Amino acid sequence: SNDHTNERGAQPARGEQELPYVLIDCIEGKHGVYMDHLEYLKKRFCLITMKEYLENKKILSEKIRAIYMWYHKPVIDEELLQSLPNLKIVSSSGVGIDHLDLKLLSRFGVKLSNTPFVVSTDTADLGMALMLASARRLVEGYQMAVAPDTEYFPANWLGVEVSGATLGIVGMGTIGYKMAQRAKAFEMKILYHNRNQRNKEEESAVGAVYCKKIDDLLQQSDFVMLAVTLTPQTHKLIGKRELELMKPTATLINISRGLVVDQDALVEALQKKVIKAGALDVTYPEPLPRDHPLLKMQNVIITPHIGSATEDTRRVMMREMAESIEAALAGLPVPNEVPL
């Protein structure tokens, strides 16, 4: 229908506030807003899908005041921003903002928010899960246990110890610090490399030792955990040189972004046993092409970018995004605003 006055297609009753118009990509499907989030969102906003918007641009372009960006969709480019003169805010799910052009948003005077804190607990849990699964060869072990031709379990089928091992955390933000708290319970030795050193209390609470140079961390760690933001400075932060500094018995775990690692160098390092194993929640592209060498390797575990993928977290994420939109439209300070 062309009558987009509100969700029911009827004029709002006198005295009833019209809900603010918010652009979303779509509902359900691969990248769509979840069905069970709709009730909450529709109480607050009049949701317009990209399809509806493109079909009714004339009427809708003036009305849309926010974009609800769920899993990097809809894609925001200059053309879209040009066509939305009253856009106040883009609210993006998750913590990474490498899919957005910050200069462009700033030029159009549009605010940006994300959901950094809600994702950190789940992502740290997944980092732990990947480290344990890789160390104890969980995926290979499962395959052996269920394979139709398995007659016995070999006694010399061994993993590596996690407790007491050295964990090197690259990027000691919220996620990195939560990783350290979990690793402390495993009695691991914890090294970390970060732009800024954490204060002494935070360090001693988890028993973490600061490495000013990443090289020192790489040379000493049994597990290297990447938990940095993807920026021009961290793009391919781990390349051939860094992998060669790592112990041949070491495992690389990436819960940040695929592009923090030079993937070709990683493939080579794993093939040539420069390092022992890899455990990756992120790659580039995602998913990898089905013939990619990483998919064939016994010493690699790959998960489908599920760092923050739990029902509870996604619901909190959705609510935080809605709150940021409401604050921006009311002219109030925006929670989780990203400075542009």
Compute CA 117 distance to the chain's CA centroid, rounded to the nearest angstrom: 11
Kind plus residue range of the DSSP H or E element containing 278 = strand 277-280
Strands 300-302 and 277-280: parallel
**Which residues are annotated as catalytic?**
257, 286, 305
3-class DSSP assignment, residue 254:
strand
Where do the DSSP E strands lie in 7-63? 21-24, 46-49
194 in Cβ contact with 172 (< 8 Å): yes
Do the strands 251-254 and 277-280 form a parallel or antiparallel pair, or are they unpaired?
parallel
Give 267-272's long-range contacts (Cβ < 8 A, gap of 24+): 267/293, 267/294, 268/240, 269/240, 269/243, 269/244, 270/294, 270/297, 270/299, 270/300, 271/297
CB neighbour class for 14 (10 Å; exposed up to 12, middle 13-18, buried from 19): exposed
Q: What are phi and psi for residue 192, nearest 5 degrees? A: -145, 150
Tokens of 2: 């062309």
Residue 238, Ramachandran bin (φ over 0: left; ψ between -120 and 50: alpha; else beta): beta
